[in-house]
């Protein structure tokens, strides 16, 4: 008998409510939950198509082992784990803890057990080789917060419900559904701003799906820091800032004011290509509108100075009087007593502290215990103490998602041991010794700790698993427990962890993600405080009494700064020398020979690299293409659909062009996550690749540098936007260089 179960989608950040129809332990369909208080019956195509992913015949259902001839064979979990355990111990004995590494990809963040267990295991192992998608995404946000607030774990979010003037810089929430904020129905949320008489300005080199609905302010890629410095200039220069209040809230106001004096909008206009009068208008509106905010995301993170740019976003909010006030840029409240002390204590742990350690290759700082993923390949191939010899990759596809995938792909072959935990065979685990099948989100219970302070309307939802693990799939944290068991005899800290786990088990209270989440729910906003607050929330009550989730406060609470700043005097630091010295990097960079600038873009029916196998999302003959302006196409003799060669100083790819007025001249947008070429197990995605040149897409990250000197200095961010490139018609480049240009092969 089919039955319906309440749950929520965990592909991207709004965590939309879902109703799953289940029959005999099989997921039949998914539909949006109309009674979810925030998503109210909304779900995007990716969310609905997830049934096809759960039941995909290509999905991994059993552990695989690579044979000497390179093919994979099915083995039992016992065999796979025994062999992995033995080989892991061998690597540990021969080369030590710092030869073992882990890369966890984006979907790991959507599983509390997965992130927590990985972080704890790797930390206690003491290896510096922990990598994540964060260095291609958001680590700069943590570092900006570290410098400003002393607290890497805090991030202000725009108060979508109340803001009347919102400046969105380098984000496309109509397609991405919002990031570093959980705001279901974000498109409606934004439209409500204009409906109540407010306005939304979208600062972006592309006339994006979001920009089309609001007011577009085109900008030259990777010049946002200059634009923000000019906004600060105007705020001080026109006396729009409340200096007394600023001094109470922050240190370094004078230094900042002195610094921005040199950045009048008239001086930065050449680089940003924004009319100085527009900059002044924006600054005035930010200061004079009572409820105003600026918000930035991936476009402001992947430039050459992502940490500085993100810090400047917060500084503009602060100086304009919009930080930590209703309708401005606000801090989510976990409501957990002692959270500030907790973060302060964590900062004492060197592997957690910013730059508590630096990478062996490139000397780049660690961020929340992780190193830049761009360095993985060189950490494998560079001999010496600390050389990476064994690598686990969970929920990630770094061969497509990090710079210079070719370099990484061949480096992976040099490892003594590579193990992947995934739901699919992908371009990365094609090189693994073992591939272990993981559960999808609907095969696990979850309460997502990492998103709790990011809801624009404070909200909580927990779910049970809606179906049991399919095939032999297992949850990542349970596999990590096994690995902990193997290494326990080898390392004291791991032994203690293992002993703790076992003791808890014997006492009938095993340590589980659910147990930890329950603790956080009970101590947090609306929690039962272990009986002190009658009728308060627990994990069980959330699931049983609030199957659609529960709004725990109507709006974000102002006045959270004191809880979030961990500096002793409680004031924000505006002039950290590390940040200020990044300003040098803003000096002009003309790259003759590479006159165009590459930017990224996300597509509504893709999720990074891993949803190109769902027939529902592939409908309509989708293909991978570069968007460019007619002016740039015409001079290169390119017409719609022509194949073009795109080259940077670091690599070249070929793909069709789509010509559109919806992009600033001089800029080319190419989506990432494509480049399926038969090396993974994605039949649908790969079939497209075999049809025609480039039809299955190419890996845009072949154009991106993995050289440590090219990484952003404070957070080790990959520079994926504003990258100098040249584009030529493919036949031309063949004629000129005499070589045959192949689409980047993986």
Ligand X SMILES: Nc1nc2c(c(=O)[nH]1)N[C@H]1C(S)=C(S)[C@@H](COP(=O)(O)OP(=O)(O)OC[C@H]3O[C@@H](n4cnc5c(=O)[nH]c(N)nc54)[C@H](O)[C@@H]3O)O[C@H]1N2
**# residues near Mo ion by CB under 5 A:** 1
- Binding letters toward ligand X, positions 434-463, x by CB under 6 A: ----x-xx----------------------
174, 210 Cβ separation under 8 angstroms: yes
* b/e code 122-143 from CB counts within 10 Å (16+ = b): bbbbebbbbbbbbbbbbbbbbb
Q: How far is the CB of 478 from ligand X (least distance, A)?
A: 12
The reply on whether position 15 binds ligand SF4 by CB under 6 A is yes
Q: How far apart are CA 418 and CA 426, in angstroms?
A: 14
Q: How far is the CB of 149 from ligand X (least distance, A)?
A: 22
Residue with the shortest CB distance to ligand SF4: 47
Q: How far apart are CA 455 and CA 159, in angstroms?
A: 10
- Binding letters toward ligand SF4, positions 157-186, x by CB under 6 A: --------------------x---------
Alpha-carbon dihedral of residues 534, 540, 545, 550, nearest 10 degrees?
80
The reply on whether position 52 binds ligand X by CB under 6 A is no
For residue 230, count other CB atoms closer than 10 A to its CB: 27
**Residue closer to Mo ion (CB basis): 137 or 446:** 137
Decide which of ligand SF4, Mo ion, ligand X, none touches 135; Cβ closer than 5 to 8 Å per partner kind: none
**Residue closer to ligand X (CB basis): 171 or 286:** 171
Work out which of 7, 19, 27, 46 binds ligand SF4, going by CB under 6 A. 46
Work out which of 51, 401, 457, 705 binds ligand X, going by CB under 6 A. 401
DSSP state of 313: H
Q: How far apart are CA 128 and CA 662, in angstroms?
A: 43
Helix (H) or strand (E) holding 253: helix 253-260
Q: How far is the CB of 34 from Mo ion (least distance, A)?
A: 29
Q: How far is the CB of 192 from ligand SF4 (least distance, A)?
A: 18
The reply on whether position 303 binds ligand X by CB under 6 A is yes
Work out which of 43, 511, 521, 599 binds ligand X, going by CB under 6 A. 599
The reply on whether position 218 binds ligand X by CB under 6 A is no
Beta strand pairing call for 596-599 and 667-669: parallel
**Residue closer to ligand X (CB basis): 206 or 280:** 206
**Residue closer to Mo ion (CB basis): 301 or 481:** 301
Work out the angle at residue 430's Cα, subtended by the Cα atoms of residues 481 and 649, and round it to the nearest 5 degrees: 115
Work out which of 33, 137, 422, 518 binds Mo ion, going by CB under 5 A. 137
For the chain, what's the residue count?
Answer: 746
Q: How far apart are CA 354 and CA 216, in angstroms?
A: 36
Decide which of ligand SF4, Mo ion, ligand X, none touches 333; Cβ closer than 5 to 8 Å per partner kind: none
**Residue closer to ligand SF4 (CB basis): 11 or 480:** 11
Q: How far apart are CA 206 and CA 208, in angstroms?
A: 5
The reply on whether position 12 binds ligand SF4 by CB under 6 A is yes
641: left (phi over 0), alpha (psi -120 to 50) or beta: left
Work out which of 6, 7, 16, 232 binds ligand SF4, going by CB under 6 A. 16
Which residues is 390 bridged to in the sheet?
Answer: 100, 417
The reply on whether position 128 binds ligand X by CB under 6 A is no
Beta strand pairing call for 157-158 and 130-132: unpaired
The upper half-sphere exposure of residue 341, i.e. CA atoms within 13 Å in the direction of its Cβ, equals 3
Angle between helices 253-260 and 224-237 (to 10 degrees): 110
The encoded tokens of residue 57 equal 């015949």
Helix (H) or strand (E) holding 145: helix 139-149
Ranges of beta strands (E only) in 9-87 are 17-23, 26-32, 64-66, 72-74
Decide which of ligand SF4, ligand X, Mo ion, none touches 43; Cβ closer than 5 to 8 Å per partner kind: ligand SF4
The reply on whether position 47 binds ligand SF4 by CB under 6 A is yes
Longest dimension (CA), the chain: 77
The reply on whether position 257 binds Mo ion by CB under 5 A is no
**CA-to-CA separations, 425 to 259, 472, 680, in angstroms, rounded:** 51, 15, 5
**# residues near ligand SF4 by CB under 6 A:** 11
Work out which of 19, 20, 38, 44 binds ligand SF4, going by CB under 6 A. 44
**Residue closer to ligand SF4 (CB basis): 56 or 407:** 56
Provide the binding-site residues for ligand SF4, judged by CB under 6 A: 9, 11-12, 14-16, 43-44, 46-47, 177
Provide the binding-site residues for Mo ion, judged by CB under 5 A: 137
Provide the binding-site residues for ligand X, judged by CB under 6 A: 12, 105-107, 111, 133, 136-137, 169-173, 175-177, 179, 203-206, 208, 219, 221-222, 224, 297-299, 303, 394-398, 401, 421-424, 426, 438, 440-441, 476, 599-602, 604, 606-610, 672-673, 700-701, 720-722
């Amino acid at each position: 008998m089919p039955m319906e179960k309440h749950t929520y989608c965990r592909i991207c950040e709004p965590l939309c409510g879902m109703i799953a129809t289940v029959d005999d332990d099989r997921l039949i369909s998914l539909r949006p939950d109309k009674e979810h208080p925030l998503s109210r019956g909304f779900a995007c195509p990716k969310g609905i198509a997830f049934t096809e992913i759960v039941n995909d015949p290509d999905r991994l259902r059993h552990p695989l082992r690579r044979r000497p001839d390179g093919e994979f064979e099915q083995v039992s979990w016992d065999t796979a784990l025994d062999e992995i355990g033995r080989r892991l111990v061998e690597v540990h004995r021969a080369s030590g803890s710092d030869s073992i590494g882990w890369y966890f990809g984006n979907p790991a963040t959507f599983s509390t057990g997965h992130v927590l267990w990985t972080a704890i295991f790797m930390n206690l192992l003491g290896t510096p080789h922990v990598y994540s998608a964060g260095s291609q995404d958001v680590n700069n946000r943590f570092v900006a917060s570290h410098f400003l607030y002393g607290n890497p774990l805090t991030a202000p979010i725009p108060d979508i419900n109340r803001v009347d003037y919102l400046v969105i810089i380098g984000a496309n929430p109509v397609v991405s559904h919002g990031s570093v904020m959980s705001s279901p129905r974000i498109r409606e949320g934004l439209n409500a701003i204009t409906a109540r008489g407010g306005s939304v300005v979208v600062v972006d080199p592309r006339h994006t799906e979001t920009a089309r609905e609001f007011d577009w302010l085109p900008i030259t890629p990777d010049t946002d820091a200059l634009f923000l410095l000019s906004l600060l200039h105007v705020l001080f220069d026109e006396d729009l800032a409340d200096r007394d209040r600023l001094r109470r809230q922050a240190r370094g106001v004078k230094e900042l004011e002195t610094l921005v004096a040199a950045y009048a909008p008239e001086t930065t206009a050449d680089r940003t290509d924004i009319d100085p009068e527009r900059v002044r208008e924006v600054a005035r509106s930010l200061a004079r509108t009572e409820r105003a905010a600026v918000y930035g995301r991936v476009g402001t993170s992947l430039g050459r100075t992502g940490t500085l740019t993100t810090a400047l976003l917060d500084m503009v909010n602060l100086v304009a009087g919009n930080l930590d006030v209703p309708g401005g840029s606000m801090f989510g409240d976990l409501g957990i007593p002692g959270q500030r002390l907790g973060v302060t204590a964590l900062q004492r742990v060197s592997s957690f502290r910013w730059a508590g350690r630096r990478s062996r290759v490139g000397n780049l700082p660690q961020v929340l215990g992780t190193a830049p993923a761009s360095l993985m390949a060189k950490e494998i191939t560079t001999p010496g103490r600390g050389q990476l010899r064994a690598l686990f990759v969970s929920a990630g596809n770094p061969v497509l998602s990090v710079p210079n995938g070719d370099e990484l792909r061949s480096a992976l072959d040099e490892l003594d041991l590579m193990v992947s935990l995934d739901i699919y065979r992908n371009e990365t685990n094609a090189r693994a010794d073992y591939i272990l099948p993981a559960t999808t989100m609907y095969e696990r219970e979850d309460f997502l700790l990492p998103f709790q302070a990011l809801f624009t309307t404070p909200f909580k939802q927990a779910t049970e698993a809606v179906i049991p693990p399919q095939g032999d799939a297992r949850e990542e944290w349970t596999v990590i427990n096994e690995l902990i068991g193997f290494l326990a005899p080898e390392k004291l800290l791991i032994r203690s962890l293992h002993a703790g786990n076992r003791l808890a088990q014997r006492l009938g209270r095993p340590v589980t993600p659910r147990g930890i989440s329950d603790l956080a729910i009970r101590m947090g906003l609306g929690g039962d405080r272990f009986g002190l607050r009658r009728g308060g929330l627990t994990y069980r009550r959330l699931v049983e009494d609030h199957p659609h989730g529960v709004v725990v406060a109507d709006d974000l609470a102002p006045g959270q700064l004191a809880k979030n700043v961990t500096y002793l005097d409680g004031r924000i630091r505006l002039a950290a020398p590390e940040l200020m010295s990044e300003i040098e990097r803003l000096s002009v960079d003309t790259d003759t020979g590479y006159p165009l600038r590459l930017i990224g873009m996300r597509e509504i029916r893709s999720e990074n690299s891993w949803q190109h196998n769902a027939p529902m999302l592939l409908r309509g003959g989708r293909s991978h293409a570069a968007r460019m302006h007619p002016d740039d196409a015409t001079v290169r003799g390119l017409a719609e659909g022509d194949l073009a060669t795109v080259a940077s100083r670091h690599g070249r790819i070929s793909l069709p062009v789509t010509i559109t007025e919806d992009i600033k001249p001089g800029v080319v947008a190419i989506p990432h996550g494509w480049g399926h070429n038969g090396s993974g197990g994605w039949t649908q995605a790969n079939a497209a690749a075999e049809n025609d040149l480039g039809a299955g897409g190419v890996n845009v990250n072949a154009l991106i540098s993995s050289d440590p000197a090219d990484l952003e200095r404070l957070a080790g961010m990959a520079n994926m936007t504003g990258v100098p490139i040249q584009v030529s018609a493919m036949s031309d480049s063949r004629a000129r260089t005499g070589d045959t240009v192949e689409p980047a092969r993986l």
